Chains A and B, each alone.
Chain A
Amino acid sequence: KAGVTQTPRYLIKTRGQQVTLSCSPISGHRSVSWYQQTPGQGLQFLFEYFSETQRNKGNFPGRFSGRQFSNSRSEMNVSTLELGDSALYLCASSPGTANQPQHFGDGTRLSIL
């Protein structure tokens, strides 16, 4: 089985721009979660999508949004980028039933100049 695929791997943007990150889950997985990882804050949960619906949401501002398509692929969008948004954004998929392990992609490294 192919693993979780995230694109792009690296991205450089400037303040005020917006960005869209993509995540293709493992085949058959219906849940996709997004995390932000920074050295200072660790792994912070952004949101989880299941069957095209946002099922859980973390404590991030409205500039962070996401969506999931019928094939379970997910996108995350960040608008009006700030310097503090520089981070590794990780996507994880799971079958979607309770207490299943998360399978992570390699992440997108976003740098804001």
Chain B
Amino acid sequence: GQQVMQIPQYQHVQEGEDFTTYCNSSTTLSNIQWYKQRPGGHPVFLIQLVKSGEVKKQKRLTFQFGEAKKNSSLHITATQTTDVGTYFCAGRPGGGNKLTFGTGTQLKVEL
């Protein structure tokens, strides 16, 4: 079954509001990757976090890797319509080789 869960499944926000998606694994992840898939498109790699407690920023996006390396979050400040899409986390549970994608969070931004 799915070992990497994301919440929420869907999120509607008004433009300018903040957004956060959470990624949780039942087992330790060696690292965590984040991808964005625009409607009708394919997943595009955003960032990778490796160290426990690591925080990385890309403009309005802030990515965090939990201390126990079992969870991660993506926070978007002041959303824009260009942020619309589905955000996936991905990792290798239990140190295995298979890249497992989270269930995804679909973000819709309304004007």
Q: Footprint of B on A, CB under 8 Å?
A: 33, 35, 42-45, 48, 55-56, 58, 90, 92, 99, 101-107
Instruction: Tell whether, in the assembled complex, residue A43 and residue B88 are in contact, meaning their CB atoms are under 8 Å apart.
Output: yes
Give chain A nearest CB distance to B33 CB in angstroms.
Answer: 6
Residue B65 at the chain A interface, CB threshold 8 Å: no
| Chain B: number of interface residues, binned into ranges | 20 to 34
Could you pull out 14 A-B pairs where Cβ atoms are within 8 angstroms?
Answer: A33-B99, A42-B104, A43-B43, A45-B101, A48-B98, A58-B98, A102-B43, A102-B45, A103-B45, A104-B42, A104-B43, A104-B44, A105-B42, A106-B41
Residues of chain A with a CB closer than 8 A to B45's CB: 101-103
Please count the residue pairs between chain A and chain B whose beta carbons lie under 8 angstroms apart in the complex.
47
Q: Footprint of A on B, CB under 8 Å?
A: 2, 30-31, 33, 35, 41-45, 48, 50, 88, 90, 97-104
Given A42-B2, A103-B45, the answer on whether A56 and B33 have CB atoms closer than 8 Å is no
Residues of chain A with a CB closer than 8 A to B104's CB: 42-43
